[in-house]
A and B are shown apart, each in its own frame.
Chain A
Protein backbone atom coordinates (compact mmCIF):
# COMPACT_ATOMS: atom_id res chain seq x y z
CA UNK A 1 0.00 0.00 0.00
CA UNK A 2 2.57 2.41 1.15
CA UNK A 3 4.91 1.42 -1.67
CA UNK A 4 2.16 1.72 -4.25
CA UNK A 5 1.21 5.21 -3.16
CA UNK A 6 4.72 6.61 -3.30
CA UNK A 7 5.50 5.03 -6.65
CA UNK A 8 2.44 6.30 -8.41
CA UNK A 9 3.71 9.77 -9.34
CA UNK A 10 6.94 8.32 -10.71
CA UNK A 11 4.90 6.25 -13.02
CA UNK A 12 2.95 9.29 -13.93
CA UNK A 13 6.11 11.03 -15.13
CA UNK A 14 7.07 7.99 -17.20
CA UNK A 15 10.66 8.81 -17.20
CA UNK A 16 12.66 7.51 -14.28
CA UNK A 17 15.70 5.60 -15.25
CA UNK A 18 15.60 2.93 -12.61
CA UNK A 19 11.86 2.21 -12.96
CA UNK A 20 9.73 1.39 -15.93
CA UNK A 21 12.06 2.96 -18.39
CA UNK A 22 10.32 1.53 -21.34
CA UNK A 23 7.03 3.12 -20.42
CA UNK A 24 8.42 6.55 -21.04
CA UNK A 25 9.52 5.76 -24.53
CA UNK A 26 6.31 6.80 -26.19
CA UNK A 27 5.91 10.02 -24.19
CA UNK A 28 6.93 13.04 -26.36
CA UNK A 29 7.79 15.16 -23.31
CA UNK A 30 9.99 12.45 -21.87
CA UNK A 31 11.66 12.00 -25.25
CA UNK A 32 12.34 15.72 -25.49
CA UNK A 33 13.91 15.87 -22.06
CA UNK A 34 16.09 12.85 -22.78
CA UNK A 35 17.33 14.35 -26.02
CA UNK A 36 17.75 18.05 -25.15
CA UNK A 37 21.24 19.54 -25.01
CA UNK A 38 20.30 21.11 -21.68
CA UNK A 39 21.56 18.97 -18.80
CA UNK A 40 18.71 17.89 -16.54
CA UNK A 41 18.14 15.56 -13.60
CA UNK A 42 15.30 14.59 -11.34
CA UNK A 43 15.77 13.59 -7.71
CA UNK A 44 13.38 11.92 -5.35
CA UNK A 45 13.20 13.63 -1.98
CA UNK A 46 11.02 10.98 -0.53
CA UNK A 47 13.82 8.48 -0.71
CA UNK A 48 16.70 8.37 1.69
CA UNK A 49 19.18 11.22 0.92
CA UNK A 50 17.23 12.58 -2.05
CA UNK A 51 18.92 10.49 -4.77
CA UNK A 52 19.01 11.10 -8.51
CA UNK A 53 16.32 9.04 -10.16
CA UNK A 54 16.74 10.41 -13.67
CA UNK A 55 19.57 12.04 -15.60
CA UNK A 56 19.55 12.87 -19.28
CA UNK A 57 22.47 12.34 -21.66
CA UNK A 58 23.40 16.00 -21.58
CA UNK A 59 24.02 15.67 -17.83
CA UNK A 60 26.29 12.69 -18.40
CA UNK A 61 28.19 14.54 -21.12
CA UNK A 62 28.59 17.58 -18.89
CA UNK A 63 29.81 15.69 -15.82
CA UNK A 64 31.66 12.79 -17.47
CA UNK A 65 29.90 10.08 -15.44
CA UNK A 66 28.16 6.94 -16.65
CA UNK A 67 24.49 6.68 -15.86
CA UNK A 68 24.92 3.74 -13.49
CA UNK A 69 27.50 5.65 -11.50
CA UNK A 70 25.05 8.35 -10.51
CA UNK A 71 21.56 6.99 -10.42
CA UNK A 72 20.64 6.52 -6.77
CA UNK A 73 23.30 8.96 -5.57
CA UNK A 74 22.85 12.37 -4.03
CA UNK A 75 24.07 15.22 -6.25
CA UNK A 76 26.73 16.34 -3.82
CA UNK A 77 29.35 14.29 -5.70
CA UNK A 78 29.44 17.31 -8.05
CA UNK A 79 30.88 19.46 -5.27
CA UNK A 80 34.52 19.75 -4.40
CA UNK A 81 36.94 21.67 -2.23
CA UNK A 82 36.55 24.95 -4.17
CA UNK A 83 32.77 24.91 -4.31
CA UNK A 84 31.40 27.95 -2.52
CA UNK A 85 30.12 27.00 0.95
CA UNK A 86 27.45 29.68 0.82
CA UNK A 87 26.11 28.36 -2.49
CA UNK A 88 26.00 24.83 -1.04
CA UNK A 89 24.07 26.11 1.95
CA UNK A 90 21.63 27.88 -0.39
CA UNK A 91 20.97 24.59 -2.20
CA UNK A 92 20.49 22.75 1.09
CA UNK A 93 18.02 25.37 2.29
CA UNK A 94 16.08 25.38 -0.97
CA UNK A 95 15.64 21.62 -0.77
CA UNK A 96 14.71 21.65 2.89
CA UNK A 97 12.29 24.51 2.32
CA UNK A 98 10.99 23.06 -0.98
CA UNK A 99 11.69 26.31 -2.80
CA UNK A 100 13.11 26.90 -6.22
CA UNK A 101 16.60 28.32 -6.56
CA UNK A 102 18.92 29.65 -9.18
CA UNK A 103 22.58 29.76 -8.22
CA UNK A 104 26.05 29.68 -9.81
CA UNK A 105 28.28 27.06 -8.24
CA UNK A 106 31.67 25.61 -9.08
CA UNK A 107 31.21 21.85 -9.76
CA UNK A 108 33.60 18.98 -10.44
CA UNK A 109 33.54 16.43 -13.27
CA UNK A 110 34.43 12.82 -12.84
CA UNK A 111 37.97 13.53 -14.03
CA UNK A 112 38.38 16.21 -11.37
CA UNK A 113 38.16 19.16 -13.75
CA UNK A 114 35.83 21.98 -12.75
CA UNK A 115 33.09 23.96 -14.45
CA UNK A 116 30.79 26.76 -13.43
CA UNK A 117 27.27 25.47 -13.15
CA UNK A 118 24.31 27.82 -13.45
CA UNK A 119 22.07 25.53 -11.44
CA UNK A 120 18.33 25.80 -11.40
CA UNK A 121 16.36 23.69 -8.91
CA UNK A 122 12.63 23.56 -8.60
CA UNK A 123 10.31 21.35 -6.53
CA UNK A 124 7.57 19.44 -8.35
CA UNK A 125 4.33 18.71 -6.47
CA UNK A 126 1.35 16.62 -7.37
CA UNK A 127 -2.23 17.91 -7.60
CA UNK A 128 -2.62 17.64 -3.83
CA UNK A 129 0.34 19.88 -3.23
CA UNK A 130 2.56 17.06 -2.03
CA UNK A 131 6.22 17.22 -2.98
CA UNK A 132 7.07 14.61 -5.60
CA UNK A 133 10.43 15.44 -7.10
CA UNK A 134 13.09 18.01 -7.48
CA UNK A 135 13.83 19.00 -11.04
CA UNK A 136 17.30 20.45 -11.66
CA UNK A 137 18.94 21.82 -14.78
CA UNK A 138 22.64 22.56 -15.19
CA UNK A 139 24.19 24.99 -17.60
CA UNK A 140 27.96 25.25 -18.09
CA UNK A 141 28.68 28.99 -17.72
CA UNK A 142 32.46 28.71 -17.27
CA UNK A 143 33.06 31.09 -20.18
CA UNK A 144 30.78 33.72 -18.71
CA UNK A 145 32.41 33.30 -15.29
CA UNK A 146 35.86 33.57 -16.79
CA UNK A 147 35.03 36.86 -18.46
CA UNK A 148 33.33 38.07 -15.30
CA UNK A 149 36.48 37.29 -13.38
CA UNK A 150 38.59 38.94 -16.03
CA UNK A 151 36.43 42.06 -15.88
CA UNK A 152 36.63 42.15 -12.09
CA UNK A 153 40.39 41.64 -12.23
CA UNK A 154 40.74 44.31 -14.92
CA UNK A 155 38.59 46.66 -12.87
CA UNK A 156 40.65 46.04 -9.73
CA UNK A 157 43.87 46.56 -11.66
CA UNK A 158 42.52 49.69 -13.24
CA UNK A 159 41.27 51.08 -9.93
CA UNK A 160 44.61 50.35 -8.33
CA UNK A 161 46.43 52.12 -11.17
CA UNK A 162 44.10 55.12 -10.90
CA UNK A 163 44.62 55.24 -7.14
CA UNK A 164 48.39 55.12 -7.53
CA UNK A 165 48.35 57.79 -10.22
CA UNK A 166 46.06 59.99 -8.13
CA UNK A 167 48.38 59.68 -5.15
CA UNK A 168 51.33 60.60 -7.35
CA UNK A 169 49.52 63.62 -8.74
CA UNK A 170 48.40 64.71 -5.29
CA UNK A 171 51.96 64.49 -4.04
CA UNK A 172 53.19 66.44 -7.06
CA UNK A 173 50.48 69.04 -6.56
CA UNK A 174 51.34 69.37 -2.90
CA UNK A 175 55.02 69.80 -3.71
CA UNK A 176 54.10 72.40 -6.28
CA UNK A 177 51.77 74.21 -3.89
CA UNK A 178 54.49 74.28 -1.25
CA UNK A 179 56.91 75.63 -3.80
CA UNK A 180 54.39 78.22 -4.96
CA UNK A 181 53.87 79.36 -1.36
CA UNK A 182 57.60 79.54 -0.79
CA UNK A 183 58.18 81.57 -3.96
CA UNK A 184 55.18 83.75 -3.18
CA UNK A 185 56.55 84.38 0.31
CA UNK A 186 59.93 85.38 -1.09
CA UNK A 187 58.48 87.61 -3.79
CA UNK A 188 56.37 89.43 -1.19
CA UNK A 189 59.32 89.85 1.14
CA UNK A 190 61.51 91.09 -1.70
CA UNK A 191 58.91 93.60 -2.84
CA UNK A 192 58.74 94.77 0.74
CA UNK A 193 62.53 95.13 0.84
CA UNK A 194 62.58 97.11 -2.41
CA UNK A 195 60.01 99.53 -0.99
CA UNK A 196 62.00 99.82 2.23
CA UNK A 197 65.25 100.52 0.35
CA UNK A 198 63.63 103.30 -1.67
CA UNK A 199 62.04 104.82 1.42
CA UNK A 200 65.28 104.76 3.36
CA UNK A 201 67.19 106.22 0.48
CA UNK A 202 64.67 109.01 0.01
CA UNK A 203 64.94 109.94 3.70
CA UNK A 204 68.60 110.84 3.19
CA UNK A 205 67.92 113.07 0.17
CA UNK A 206 67.42 116.79 0.54
CA UNK A 207 66.70 117.70 -3.08
CA UNK A 208 62.91 118.02 -3.29
CA UNK A 209 62.69 117.04 -6.96
CA UNK A 210 64.73 113.93 -6.40
CA UNK A 211 62.64 113.09 -3.37
CA UNK A 212 59.46 113.43 -5.44
CA UNK A 213 60.88 111.15 -8.11
CA UNK A 214 61.65 108.50 -5.56
CA UNK A 215 58.15 108.98 -4.14
CA UNK A 216 56.60 108.32 -7.56
CA UNK A 217 58.79 105.29 -7.98
CA UNK A 218 57.69 104.01 -4.59
CA UNK A 219 54.03 104.47 -5.56
CA UNK A 220 54.56 102.38 -8.69
CA UNK A 221 56.31 99.61 -6.78
CA UNK A 222 53.64 99.67 -4.12
CA UNK A 223 50.99 99.31 -6.82
CA UNK A 224 52.80 96.14 -7.90
CA UNK A 225 52.98 95.03 -4.27
CA UNK A 226 49.27 95.51 -3.86
CA UNK A 227 48.63 93.45 -7.00
CA UNK A 228 50.80 90.70 -5.63
CA UNK A 229 49.24 90.79 -2.18
CA UNK A 230 45.72 90.61 -3.61
CA UNK A 231 46.58 87.98 -6.18
CA UNK A 232 47.88 85.49 -3.66
CA UNK A 233 45.26 86.26 -1.05
CA UNK A 234 42.58 84.79 -3.28
CA UNK A 235 41.96 81.07 -3.67
CA UNK A 236 42.46 81.11 -7.41
CA UNK A 237 45.84 82.64 -8.23
CA UNK A 238 44.99 82.81 -11.93
CA UNK A 239 42.27 85.45 -11.48
CA UNK A 240 42.49 89.03 -10.28
CA UNK A 241 39.69 91.23 -8.98
CA UNK A 242 40.38 94.71 -10.44
CA UNK A 243 37.55 96.44 -8.61
CA UNK A 244 38.85 95.34 -5.21
CA UNK A 245 42.30 96.47 -6.28
CA UNK A 246 41.02 99.91 -7.28
CA UNK A 247 39.27 100.29 -3.92
CA UNK A 248 42.49 99.39 -2.08
CA UNK A 249 44.60 101.67 -4.25
CA UNK A 250 42.40 104.74 -3.84
CA UNK A 251 41.98 104.32 -0.10
CA UNK A 252 45.71 103.74 0.20
CA UNK A 253 46.66 106.80 -1.85
CA UNK A 254 44.12 109.04 -0.12
CA UNK A 255 43.70 108.10 3.52
CA UNK A 256 47.27 108.36 4.66
CA UNK A 257 48.52 111.00 2.20
CA UNK A 258 46.55 113.56 4.14
CA UNK A 259 44.38 114.43 1.13
CA UNK A 260 41.16 114.06 3.08
CA UNK A 261 39.75 117.05 1.19
CA UNK A 262 39.41 114.90 -1.92
CA UNK A 263 36.22 112.89 -2.04
CA UNK A 264 36.43 109.73 -4.14
CA UNK A 265 33.40 108.43 -6.02
CA UNK A 266 33.78 104.74 -6.70
CA UNK A 267 31.35 103.01 -9.04
CA UNK A 268 32.83 99.54 -9.31
CA UNK A 269 31.20 96.44 -10.71
CA UNK A 270 32.90 93.27 -9.49
CA UNK A 271 35.24 92.46 -12.39
CA UNK A 272 37.73 89.64 -12.62
CA UNK A 273 40.56 89.63 -15.13
CA UNK A 274 43.18 86.97 -15.87
CA UNK A 275 46.26 87.22 -13.66
CA UNK A 276 48.59 88.07 -16.55
CA UNK A 277 46.64 91.31 -17.13
CA UNK A 278 46.67 92.25 -13.45
CA UNK A 279 49.99 94.09 -13.42
CA UNK A 280 49.52 96.27 -16.54
CA UNK A 281 45.93 97.16 -15.60
CA UNK A 282 46.95 97.97 -12.03
CA UNK A 283 49.91 100.10 -13.13
CA UNK A 284 47.74 102.00 -15.59
CA UNK A 285 45.08 102.76 -12.98
CA UNK A 286 47.81 103.79 -10.56
CA UNK A 287 49.27 106.28 -13.10
CA UNK A 288 45.88 107.82 -13.83
CA UNK A 289 44.87 108.17 -10.20
CA UNK A 290 48.21 109.62 -9.11
CA UNK A 291 48.12 112.03 -12.06
CA UNK A 292 44.71 113.31 -11.02
CA UNK A 293 45.90 113.72 -7.42
CA UNK A 294 49.12 115.42 -8.48
CA UNK A 295 48.01 117.67 -11.32
CA UNK A 296 44.26 118.20 -11.41
CA UNK A 297 43.52 120.12 -8.27
CA UNK A 298 44.71 123.68 -7.82
CA UNK A 299 45.29 125.22 -4.44
CA UNK A 300 42.17 126.98 -3.12
CA UNK A 301 41.98 130.01 -0.85
CA UNK A 302 42.03 127.73 2.21
CA UNK A 303 45.43 126.31 1.15
CA UNK A 304 44.09 122.82 0.35
CA UNK A 305 43.72 121.33 -3.07
CA UNK A 306 40.24 119.83 -2.95
CA UNK A 307 38.18 118.22 -5.66
CA UNK A 308 36.32 115.15 -6.80
CA UNK A 309 37.97 111.97 -8.02
CA UNK A 310 35.91 109.29 -9.73
CA UNK A 311 36.64 105.74 -10.77
CA UNK A 312 34.12 103.69 -12.67
CA UNK A 313 34.54 100.10 -13.85
CA UNK A 314 32.01 98.17 -15.87
CA UNK A 315 32.00 95.28 -18.29
CA UNK A 316 29.49 95.52 -21.09
CA UNK A 317 29.59 92.45 -23.37
CA UNK A 318 33.12 91.08 -23.21
CA UNK A 319 34.76 94.44 -22.58
CA UNK A 320 36.32 95.99 -19.53
CA UNK A 321 35.72 99.74 -19.31
CA UNK A 322 37.61 101.89 -16.84
CA UNK A 323 37.02 105.59 -16.31
CA UNK A 324 39.17 107.80 -14.12
CA UNK A 325 37.77 111.31 -13.83
CA UNK A 326 38.44 114.50 -11.90
CA UNK A 327 36.84 117.94 -11.79
CA UNK A 328 40.17 119.77 -11.80
CA UNK A 329 41.99 122.08 -14.20
CA UNK A 330 41.82 119.86 -17.28
CA UNK A 331 44.59 118.86 -19.64
CA UNK A 332 44.66 121.86 -21.98
CA UNK A 333 48.08 123.01 -20.77
CA UNK A 334 49.62 119.58 -20.43
CA UNK A 335 52.65 118.67 -22.47
CA UNK A 336 51.51 115.12 -22.70
CA UNK A 337 54.05 113.40 -24.90
CA UNK A 338 57.18 114.44 -23.12
CA UNK A 339 56.82 112.67 -19.80
CA UNK A 340 57.40 109.17 -18.60
CA UNK A 341 54.00 108.61 -16.93
CA UNK A 342 52.09 109.25 -20.17
CA UNK A 343 54.40 107.02 -22.16
CA UNK A 344 53.98 104.26 -19.61
CA UNK A 345 50.18 104.52 -19.77
CA UNK A 346 50.18 104.39 -23.58
CA UNK A 347 52.56 101.43 -23.77
CA UNK A 348 50.52 99.49 -21.22
CA UNK A 349 47.37 100.27 -23.22
CA UNK A 350 49.02 98.86 -26.33
CA UNK A 351 50.07 95.74 -24.45
CA UNK A 352 46.48 95.24 -23.28
CA UNK A 353 45.03 96.08 -26.73
CA UNK A 354 43.09 98.80 -24.98
CA UNK A 355 41.69 102.01 -26.45
CA UNK A 356 42.48 104.99 -24.25
CA UNK A 357 41.19 108.51 -24.60
CA UNK A 358 41.59 111.72 -22.60
CA UNK A 359 38.37 113.72 -22.73
CA UNK A 360 37.68 117.24 -21.55
CA UNK A 361 35.10 116.80 -18.81
CA UNK A 362 34.59 120.59 -18.39
CA UNK A 363 35.60 120.98 -15.64
CA UNK A 364 38.38 118.44 -15.36
CA UNK A 365 39.51 115.37 -17.23
CA UNK A 366 37.88 112.05 -17.95
CA UNK A 367 40.18 109.24 -19.07
CA UNK A 368 38.30 106.38 -20.70
CA UNK A 369 39.87 102.97 -21.25
CA UNK A 370 38.18 100.13 -23.04
CA UNK A 371 39.73 96.72 -23.53
CA UNK A 372 38.61 93.24 -24.49
CA UNK A 373 37.96 90.99 -21.51
CA UNK A 374 36.39 87.63 -22.34
CA UNK A 375 33.01 86.86 -20.78
CA UNK A 376 34.61 83.90 -18.97
CA UNK A 377 36.31 86.39 -16.68
CA UNK A 378 33.18 88.04 -15.37
CA UNK A 379 33.30 88.48 -11.63
CA UNK A 380 29.54 88.58 -11.36
CA UNK A 381 27.88 85.54 -12.90
CA UNK A 382 24.60 87.41 -13.52
Chain B
Protein backbone atom coordinates (compact mmCIF):
# COMPACT_ATOMS: atom_id res chain seq x y z
CA UNK B 1 0.00 0.00 0.00
CA UNK B 2 1.43 3.39 -0.97
CA UNK B 3 0.89 6.19 1.50
CA UNK B 4 -2.13 8.33 0.52
CA UNK B 5 -1.76 11.92 -0.65
CA UNK B 6 -2.50 15.19 1.16
CA UNK B 7 -4.32 17.40 -1.31
CA UNK B 8 -4.81 21.15 -1.44
CA UNK B 9 -7.65 22.51 -3.60
CA UNK B 10 -7.40 25.97 -5.15
CA UNK B 11 -10.73 26.44 -6.96
CA UNK B 12 -13.23 29.28 -6.93
CA UNK B 13 -16.34 27.21 -7.75
CA UNK B 14 -17.62 25.83 -4.45
CA UNK B 15 -19.55 23.07 -6.18
CA UNK B 16 -16.49 21.84 -8.05
CA UNK B 17 -14.31 22.08 -4.94
CA UNK B 18 -16.84 20.06 -2.92
CA UNK B 19 -17.11 17.39 -5.57
CA UNK B 20 -13.36 17.22 -6.02
CA UNK B 21 -12.99 16.79 -2.27
CA UNK B 22 -15.38 13.82 -2.40
CA UNK B 23 -13.47 12.25 -5.28
CA UNK B 24 -10.16 12.72 -3.47
CA UNK B 25 -11.54 11.18 -0.27
CA UNK B 26 -13.27 8.31 -2.13
CA UNK B 27 -9.87 7.44 -3.57
CA UNK B 28 -8.46 7.20 -0.04
CA UNK B 29 -6.59 10.51 0.08
CA UNK B 30 -7.27 13.55 2.23
CA UNK B 31 -7.97 17.22 1.55
CA UNK B 32 -5.93 19.52 3.81
CA UNK B 33 -7.20 22.90 2.57
CA UNK B 34 -9.32 24.84 0.14
CA UNK B 35 -8.58 28.32 -1.24
CA UNK B 36 -10.57 30.44 -3.70
CA UNK B 37 -8.08 33.25 -4.40
CA UNK B 38 -4.38 34.02 -4.54
CA UNK B 39 -4.43 35.60 -1.05
CA UNK B 40 -6.25 32.65 0.49
CA UNK B 41 -3.96 30.25 -1.31
CA UNK B 42 -0.88 31.98 0.16
CA UNK B 43 -2.31 31.66 3.66
CA UNK B 44 -3.15 27.98 3.27
CA UNK B 45 0.19 27.22 1.64
CA UNK B 46 2.09 28.96 4.44
CA UNK B 47 0.26 27.07 7.17
CA UNK B 48 -0.17 23.60 5.68
CA UNK B 49 1.92 20.92 4.11
CA UNK B 50 0.41 19.12 1.12
CA UNK B 51 1.69 16.68 -1.46
CA UNK B 52 -0.41 17.88 -4.37
CA UNK B 53 -2.20 21.17 -5.03
CA UNK B 54 -4.93 21.16 -7.66
CA UNK B 55 -4.95 24.74 -8.97
CA UNK B 56 -7.58 26.32 -11.23
CA UNK B 57 -6.35 29.20 -13.40
CA UNK B 58 -9.42 31.40 -12.89
CA UNK B 59 -9.94 32.30 -9.24
CA UNK B 60 -12.15 34.87 -7.52
CA UNK B 61 -9.47 37.55 -7.96
CA UNK B 62 -8.87 36.85 -11.67
CA UNK B 63 -6.52 34.61 -13.62
CA UNK B 64 -4.15 34.25 -10.67
CA UNK B 65 -3.73 30.46 -10.74
CA UNK B 66 -0.30 30.74 -12.34
CA UNK B 67 0.80 33.07 -9.52
CA UNK B 68 -0.45 30.52 -7.01
CA UNK B 69 1.62 27.84 -8.75
CA UNK B 70 4.71 30.04 -8.61
CA UNK B 71 4.15 30.81 -4.93
CA UNK B 72 3.82 27.13 -4.13
CA UNK B 73 6.86 26.37 -6.27
CA UNK B 74 8.98 28.88 -4.34
CA UNK B 75 7.87 27.48 -0.98
CA UNK B 76 8.52 23.95 -2.22
CA UNK B 77 5.81 22.57 0.06
CA UNK B 78 3.56 20.93 -2.55
CA UNK B 79 3.57 19.91 -6.20
CA UNK B 80 1.10 21.67 -8.46
CA UNK B 81 -1.34 20.20 -10.95
CA UNK B 82 -3.42 22.72 -12.89
CA UNK B 83 -7.09 21.95 -13.27
CA UNK B 84 -8.63 24.31 -15.76
CA UNK B 85 -11.08 24.76 -18.61
CA UNK B 86 -8.51 27.10 -20.11
CA UNK B 87 -5.30 25.09 -20.60
CA UNK B 88 -4.13 27.60 -23.24
CA UNK B 89 -3.53 30.15 -20.48
CA UNK B 90 -0.85 28.02 -18.88
CA UNK B 91 2.63 29.36 -19.70
CA UNK B 92 4.98 27.09 -21.67
CA UNK B 93 7.17 26.43 -18.64
CA UNK B 94 4.05 25.45 -16.61
CA UNK B 95 5.31 27.54 -13.65
CA UNK B 96 6.98 24.38 -12.36
CA UNK B 97 3.73 22.38 -12.27
CA UNK B 98 3.57 18.64 -12.98
CA UNK B 99 0.88 19.02 -15.61
CA UNK B 100 -2.73 19.84 -16.25
CA UNK B 101 -6.09 18.08 -15.95
CA UNK B 102 -8.30 19.74 -18.53
CA UNK B 103 -11.87 20.54 -17.56
CA UNK B 104 -14.39 19.14 -18.05
CA UNK B 105 -12.74 16.11 -16.48
CA UNK B 106 -14.54 12.84 -15.83
CA UNK B 107 -14.92 11.17 -12.47
CA UNK B 108 -12.79 8.30 -13.69
CA UNK B 109 -10.31 10.75 -15.17
CA UNK B 110 -9.68 12.30 -11.76
CA UNK B 111 -9.53 8.95 -10.00
CA UNK B 112 -6.95 7.66 -12.49
CA UNK B 113 -5.01 10.91 -12.24
CA UNK B 114 -4.90 10.57 -8.45
CA UNK B 115 -3.50 7.05 -8.71
CA UNK B 116 -0.94 8.20 -11.30
CA UNK B 117 0.07 11.18 -9.15
CA UNK B 118 0.31 9.05 -6.03
CA UNK B 119 2.80 6.77 -7.77
CA UNK B 120 4.62 9.76 -9.24
CA UNK B 121 4.96 11.55 -5.90
CA UNK B 122 5.73 8.53 -3.71
CA UNK B 123 7.64 6.27 -6.09
CA UNK B 124 8.54 8.15 -9.24
CA UNK B 125 8.25 7.57 -12.09
CA UNK B 126 4.61 6.41 -12.08
CA UNK B 127 3.87 2.85 -13.22
CA UNK B 128 0.30 3.38 -14.41
CA UNK B 129 -0.50 4.65 -17.83
CA UNK B 130 -0.98 8.41 -18.06
CA UNK B 131 -4.77 8.97 -17.83
CA UNK B 132 -6.78 10.50 -20.66
CA UNK B 133 -7.26 14.20 -20.14
CA UNK B 134 -4.01 14.54 -18.17
CA UNK B 135 -1.15 16.39 -19.85
CA UNK B 136 2.36 16.44 -18.40
CA UNK B 137 4.48 19.59 -18.46
CA UNK B 138 7.57 19.38 -20.70
CA UNK B 139 9.84 19.17 -17.63
CA UNK B 140 7.93 16.25 -16.09
CA UNK B 141 7.44 14.59 -19.45
CA UNK B 142 11.20 13.96 -19.62
CA UNK B 143 11.33 12.52 -16.08
CA UNK B 144 8.01 10.68 -15.78
CA UNK B 145 7.41 9.62 -19.35
CA UNK B 146 10.76 9.46 -21.13
CA UNK B 147 10.43 8.48 -24.80
CA UNK B 148 11.74 4.94 -25.13
Contacts and interface: CB of A to CB of B under 8 A. Distances in A.
Interface residues of A, number: 30
Given A191-B104, A256-B109, A247 B19 contact: no
Contacts of B22: 199-200, 203
A196 interface: yes
- Best-surrounded residue of A200, A233, A248, A251 (most CB of chain B within 10 A): A251
| Centre residue among A184, A192, A225, A251 by max chain B CB count within 10 A | A192
Interface string A153-188: 000000000000000000000000000010011001
A171 B18 CA distance: 40
B102 A185 contact: no
A252 B85 contact: no
A226 B131 contact: no
A255 B104 contact: no
A188 B132 contact: no
Contacts of A195: 19, 104, 106-107
Contacts of B131: 251-252, 255-256
Given A252-B108, A256-B109, A256-B112, A189 B103 contact: yes
Given A247-B132, A248-B132, A256-B109, A229 B15 contact: no
A196 B15 CA distance: 7
Contacts, number: 91
A336 interface: no
Nearest to A193: B15
Interface in A182-223: 184-185, 188-189, 191-193, 195-197, 199-200, 203, 218, 222
B106 to A, nearest CB: 4
A191 B102 CA distance: 12
B48 interface: no
A188 B104 contact: yes
Contacts of B104: 188-189, 191-192, 195, 222, 225-226, 228-229
A228 B85 CA distance: 10
B58 to A, nearest CB: 8
B108 A253 contact: yes
Given A188-B85, A247-B132, A256-B131, 6 more contacts: A195-B19, A225-B106, A228-B104, A251-B132, A252-B133, A255-B112
Interface of B: 13, 15-16, 18-19, 22-23, 58, 85-88, 102-109, 111-112, 115, 128-129, 131-133
Nearest 9 CB-CB pairings of A with B:
A188-B85, A256-B108, A196-B19, A225-B104, A248-B132, A256-B111, A222-B106, A191-B104, A192-B104
